[in-house]
Amino acid sequence: MRRLALALVLALIAFPVASAPPTPAATPAEARAFVEGAEAKLLALSVEAERATWVQENFITDDTETIAALAAERRAAAAAGMAKQATRFDGLALPADVARKLELLKLSLVLAAPANPAESAELARLAAGMNGTYGKGKYCPPGKECLDLTAIDKRMAESRDPKELLELWKGWHAIAPPMKNDFARAVELSNKGARELGFADTGAMWRSKYDMPPEAFAKEVDRLFQQVRPLYLSLHAYVRFQLRKQYGDAVVPATGPIPAHLLGNMWAQTWGNIYPLVAPKEGDPGYDVTVILKEKKVDEKGMVRYGEGFFTSLGFAPLPATFWERSLFTKPRDREVVCHASATDVDYVDDLRIKMCIAITAEEFAVVHHELGHNFYQRAYNKQPGLFRESANDGFHEAIGDTIALSITPGYLKKLGFIAAEPPASKDLGLLMQMALDKVAFLPFGLLIDRWRWKVYSGEVPPGKYNQAWWDLRLEYQGVAAPVARTEADFDAGAKYHVPASVPYTRYFLADILQFQFHRDLAKTAGCTDAVNRCSVYGNKAAGKKLNDMLEMGMSKPWPEALEKISGTKTMDATAVLDYFAPLQKWLDEQIRKEKIPVGW
């Protein structure tokens, strides 16, 4: 995860500003002067907000939280005001860079409030209220201590008792119904604000961020999922088969959808926690990176040095000295900090930092590489104008970090001296299964969250059908069903943070696709002739140059042009996912044939 950079300063609410009178005499020179002034102001406010947030997350007090909130509010208010002012230049013939900056300003909003001050204030109250309701959510079992979501997540990951899992699932989903009416009203108000900016509705405004017409983007997302659906169907069938072995026919059907509470995660969005139930017997790679790290006495900074070494092997300059002086690598003993891993460029130039309470584990080793991917991306585009200092689209930043993590292969570990020899390819099954339970299983969920919201914002799904539409989509895309009967008195979409918090979700789906496309194409550049899941670009300067050529573009051009720098094509291609998991797909299909496992639901 990274901080939001200047071009995507997501002003959650567009505070009302005085509508500018018609100005038919507006000129290209005025438009350029406006965007240059906007960039300078937003850059200053963003640096201020980043510094305040860094302090707040590293020194958590009421005062630092207030300071950070005020800085964020100033930045959000300025971005929102500029977004509405940018509409005064609509229809004017402008230089390409000015036109793109004006469009990015208008698209920087998540929820665009109406110009009416009372309605804008109402939308702000609704947004804050839903955030608060979700944040305070707890499940209180009868006669037992209440559980917050962190505690619930831990039990969902570890428990193999279907009755306990069901109670946890029902308990958390019960927090959402009180938010339903507020959500419906927020949809109505934000749609009004979006129409004032020239968009059909809020969903259309979100889809317009992707350098193509909104409906074309919706079709593109579905096209990508259809490319990977055969692999998902095989994984789903095998997982359902193994869950039936664990829980019996009465709990898991032979041919229907999988009950949502059995997949190790509250939302069944990733399935990695049930790996022990589905692990291939022949899948042990023969080494444990966690054990190796501890045997080599690698400390927290040593973990980060390995990550930096990956990038310098590609030809990138080392991290600045200030990175090592200002980053947080370990949890302090004398205070509470926000330990959730993040990467930031505080001054939008080269004040790069990560914030992690690093544990010496294989998982954290990959996370370090991922977070540094954000930092090296941030530095690569730091010479762009302020509004272009962001990834090509919101899926690219997460995809780059994950692309680097895909190069943590047995071959890479051998080059580091972690293992003496690479295990045979047959030992990759366990690694691939673990990754598929997270990456492949996530794809339909990553798509359907916003597909549901797009239908809600367009009016296709009215409040009286919120829950039915939610579970219809989960059945269609995931093959997952509610474990108990649901009605419109429920609001199950609201039990996922991103819905009441109005955080767009398609970026995560795109990142899940793009990382495999980037990896496959960089591996080809590096001359790797092994199976793509065994390829690492570590040490290859040609791959590093191609990567940097894309990173340094930032958001200056439409994302297809950035994609072309790495892939030689302007089209996203999910077949890279199939290529990466080809050995697992072959194994899954063999199990399906051998055991006569039904496929589909």
Which ranges in 208-296 belong to alpha helices (H)? 214-247, 275-278, 289-295
Find the catalytic residue in 173, 374, 397, 519.
374
Closest C-alpha to 396, from 124, 169, 209 = 209
Length of the chain: 601
* CA gyration radius, the chain: 24
Q: Residues near 306 by Cβ (< 8 Å), separated by ≥ 6?
A: 298, 365, 368, 369, 416
Return d(Cα 43, Cα 46) in angstroms, integer. Answer: 5
Find the catalytic residue in 134, 457, 508, 538.
508
Find the catalytic residue in 340, 363, 476, 590.
340
Closest C-alpha to 211, from 502, 439, 553 = 553
At position 116, the amino acid (one-letter code) is N
Return d(Cα 22, Cα 19) in angstroms, integer. Answer: 9
508 with 398: CB under 8 angstroms? yes
Closest C-alpha to 156, from 272, 269, 279, 263 = 263
348 with 386: CB under 8 angstroms? yes
Quick check: is 261 catalytic? no
Quick check: is 397 catalytic? no
Read off the DSSP letter of residue 477.
I
At position 63, the amino acid (one-letter code) is D
Quick check: is 380 catalytic? no
Quick check: is 236 catalytic? no
Quick check: is 341 catalytic? yes
Find the catalytic residue in 39, 308, 364, 371.
371
Find the catalytic residue in 112, 127, 341, 526.
341
Find the catalytic residue in 39, 364, 398, 422.
398
Return d(Cα 231, Cα 444) in angstroms, integer. Answer: 12
At position 144, the amino acid (one-letter code) is K
Q: Can you point out the beta strands (E) in 378-523? A: 480-481
Return d(Cα 377, Cα 516) in angstroms, integer. Answer: 17
Quick check: is 340 catalytic? yes
Read off the DSSP letter of residue 527.
T
Which ranges in 491-581 belong to alpha helices (H)? 506-525, 541-551, 559-567, 575-580
Q: In angstroms, what CA-CA distances link 103 with 81, 83, 195?
A: 14, 8, 15
Taking the CB of residue 24, how many other CB atoms lie within 10 A of it? 6
Find the catalytic residue in 261, 369, 370, 519.
370
Find the catalytic residue in 498, 501, 561, 564.
498
Quick check: is 164 catalytic? no
35 with 101: CB under 8 angstroms? yes
Exposed / middle / buried, residue 172 (Cβ in 10 Å: 0-12, 13-18, 19+): buried
CB < 8 Å & 24+ apart, contacts of 558-566 = 558/211, 558/392, 559/210, 559/211, 559/392, 559/393, 559/396, 560/211, 561/392, 562/392, 562/396, 563/392, 563/514, 563/517, 566/517, 566/518, 566/521, 566/522
Q: Could you give the dihedral angle defined by the CA atoms of residues 276, 281, 283 and 286, in that order, rounded to the nearest 10 degrees?
A: 100
Quick check: is 196 catalytic? no
For the chain, the maximum distance between any two Cα atoms, rounded to a whole number of angstroms, is: 74
Structure tokens that stand for 381 in this block: 């585009």
Helix or strand holding residue 352 (H, E): strand 352-355
Return d(Cα 345, Cα 554) in angstroms, integer. Answer: 14
Residues with a known catalytic role: 340-341, 370-371, 374, 398, 498, 508
